[in-house]
Amino acid sequence: MTLKEVKNIIDENQIRTIDLKYSDLTGNWYHISCPVRKLEYILTNGIPFDGSSIPGMKTVEAGDMILLPDLSTAIVDPFTYHPSLRMLTYICDADTRIGVKKDPRSVAKRAQRYLVESGIADESYWIPEFEFYLFNEAIIDNGKFSAGYKFTSSENKNDLPGGYKDVDGTAVANRKGYHIDVPFDKYADVREEMVQIIEDIGCPIRYHHHEVGLSSQQEIETELMEFNLITDKMMYIKDIIHNCALENELTATFMPKPLYDEPGNGMHFHIQLKKNGKNIFYKKSGYADLSEEALFFIGGILKHGRSLTAFTNPSTNSFKRLLPGFEAPVQLFFGLANRSAAIRIPKYATSEETKRIEFRTGDGTCNYYLAMSALLMAGLDGIKNKIKPTKENGYGPFDDNVFEWSAQKQAKLQSIPTSLEEALEALKQDHKYLLAGSVFNKELINTWIKEKMKEVVAVNNRPHPFEMNLYYSL
C-alpha cells in the first residue's frame, strides 16, 4: 500500500488518529496512538518508546527504541469509537533504524529473506486454523488464600451460566459439538460477524464452524496465504475474535486446555513452498504425491520437533492438551490423513495447486511470528541436510492410529516433550538450525527461555485447587 492510498483511506473515513501496534516476545499486543497529521513524520522518524518496559525486550540502561510503521499493514480499525487507522510496526534500535534481534516481526522478515536466499523456494504459503472457546462467563480468582476459575456456556446443559434457565431447551448434552447446527450452534452469527470483518481486512476465509467442544468451541480457517501477509493478518484475526466476542457479551479464549476432560484448542498450520510459482511439495506418484523436498521438509520438522514445541506450544497449559486422545498429536511422525500424527498430509489436497502438509501440534498461545518462523527454519534445515523421515527412524509414514498400537511398538516413536520446562530444555540443546541466516539469535533464544521459565516457576509454586481434594484431609 502506498502513502497516497493510505491518505485516501484517511480522507474517505475522516480518520484523525493513527494507532500503532507491536508485539512483545510472547505475542502480547501493545499500542501507541498519535494524531493523523504526524503520519509522514513517523514514517520517516518513527515513534520513540521505552523498550525496558516491555518484558524481555531491553535493559533499563539501554532502553531507547523506536517503532517504525509498515504502510502495507494499514487498516481502518473496526472497533474504535473514534475512526482510527491501525498499522503494525517494526521495533528498531533508536540509532540504527533496523529491526532489533528480539522483535518478532523482524524475525519473520528475516525468515522470509532466508527462504529466498536459500534458493530452495521464494514463497511459503500457510493456512492457520484458529480454535477457541466462546464462554458466557470467565470468573478467575488467584490469590494467597483462594484460587479457582469458572467458565460457563449457554450451549452446554452441564455448563450453564448463573441464572440461565435454558427455557427454550436449546442447550445440549451427551453428544459432540462438531458441526452442530443452529439453533444449538448459538453463536454462529457471532462467528459470521468475525469472519466478515476478517475478510474486510483482506484475509480470505476458507470456512468456519462449531468445533467438538459443546461449551461453544469454534474454528475459523483461512485460505492459503503468503507467509509475510498471513503472519500479520493473524495478529488482526485474534484481536477481531476477542473484540467481537466482547461486543456480544461473550469472552473468547485460545487457551489450549481451559476445560478438564473436554477438547482442547489447537492451532494447526498448513504449509506449502513455491518456487517461480510452482508448488515444490508436489510430485505425482510419490507417497501421498509428495516430492522429495516435501519429505525432507517434514524430516526437518520432525527431527527438531521437540525443540520446536518451545515456540509452537509455549505455555504450561499447552501440555495439558497434548495428551493421548482428543486428536492431540503427541508422537513425532507423519501420515496421510492421520489425525494422530504430528504432521498430517490432507487427503483431500490432491492437486499440484493444493498439495501441502499440516503441522498439528501447535496451539494459540504461540507468538505467530516466532512459531511459524521456527517451523520454516526447521523444514528448510531438513531440505538442506536431506533429512529423510523414514519408518526406521520412527518418523513414518504411518497411516494407522498409533494409540491402538502395543505399548512396545509405541515406545519406538519419538514423543514431544511432556511439559514446557522439558520443551525449553530441548530448545537449549537444539537451536542451531534457528540461527542460520541470523534469523533467530542466541540473545532472543536465551531471553525466551528465561521469560518462559518464569511462567513455569509461577505455576509450579502455586497450590493447585485439585490438590485440596487429594490432600487437604490427610
Q: Which helix H or strand E contains 138, and what residues bound it?
A: strand 137-142
Catalytic residue among 86, 268, 321, 344: 268
Whether the pLDDT of residue 10 is over 90: the answer is yes
Sign of the CA dihedral running 161, 163, 165, 170? negative
Tell me, what's the pLDDT at 219?
A: 98
For residue 192, give Cα distances in angstroms to 39, 206, 220, 247. Answer: 33, 12, 10, 14
The alpha carbon dihedral of 31, 37, 38, 41 has a sign of: positive
Selected catalytic residue, list 86, 360, 421, 431:
360
Q: Of 391 and 275, which is predicted with more confidence?
A: 275
In CATH, what number is assigned to the domain containing residue 89?
A: 3.10.20.70
pLDDT band per the 50, 70, 90 thresholds, residue 325:
low
- Is residue 19 annotated as a catalytic residue, yes or no? no
For 393, the grid coordinates are 527412524
Q: Which of 24, 129, 185, 232 is catalytic?
A: 129
Q: State the pLDDT at residue 148.
A: 94
Which is catalytic among the residues 77, 131, 293, 363? 131
What's the mean pLDDT in 216-239? 97
In a domain, 57, yes or no: yes
pLDDT at 327: 63
CB environment 407-446: b (16+ within 10 A), e (fewer) = eeeeeebeebbebbbbbbbbbeebbebbeeeebbbeebbe
Task: Please write the tens of the pLDDT for every residue from 86-140.
Answer: 999 999 988 888 889 999 999 999 999 999 999 999 999 999 999 999 999 999 9
The answer on 339 and 240 residing in a single domain is: no
pLDDT at 60: 47
pTM of the model: 0.95
Rounded Cα–Cα distance for residues 186 and 179 (Å): 12
Choose the catalytic residue: 358, 363, 381, 421: 358
The answer on 182 and 54 residing in a single domain is no
Query: Across the chain, what does the average pLDDT equal?
Result: 94
Asked if the structure places residue 190 within a domain, the reply is yes
Q: Which helix (H) or strand (E) holds 5?
A: helix 3-12
Q: What pLDDT is attached to residue 34?
A: 96
Number of domain units in the chain = 3
Active site includes 306? Answer: no
The answer to whether residue 211 is catalytic is yes
Are residues 317 and 439 both part of a single domain? Answer: yes
The CATH number that applies at residue 284 is: 3.30.590.10
In the set 5, 11, 50, 192, the catalytic residue is 50
- What pLDDT does residue 412 have? 82
In a domain, 270, yes or no: no
- Asked if residue 251 is part of any domain, the answer here is yes
Residue 358 annotated in active site: yes
Q: 246 with 314, same domain?
A: no
The predicted model gives 452-460 an average pLDDT of 97
Q: Considering the candidates 219, 262, 289, 421, report the single residue annotated as catalytic.
A: 219
Q: Is 219 a catalytic residue?
A: yes
Burial of 447 (0-12, 13-18, 19+ CB in 10 A): middle
Report pLDDT digits (tens) over 118-127.
Answer: 999 999 999 9
Q: What is the pLDDT of residue 61?
A: 46
CA 391 – CA 170 distance, rounded (Å): 48
In terms of residue numbers, what domain contains 307? 101-122+276-474
Catalytic status, residue 206: no
Same domain for 310 and 257, yes or no, is no
Query: In the chain, pLDDT over 70 holds for what percent of residues?
Result: 98
In the prediction, which pLDDT does 64 show?
83
pLDDT over 80 (residue 326): no
Active site residue 232: no
Same domain, 55 and 117: no
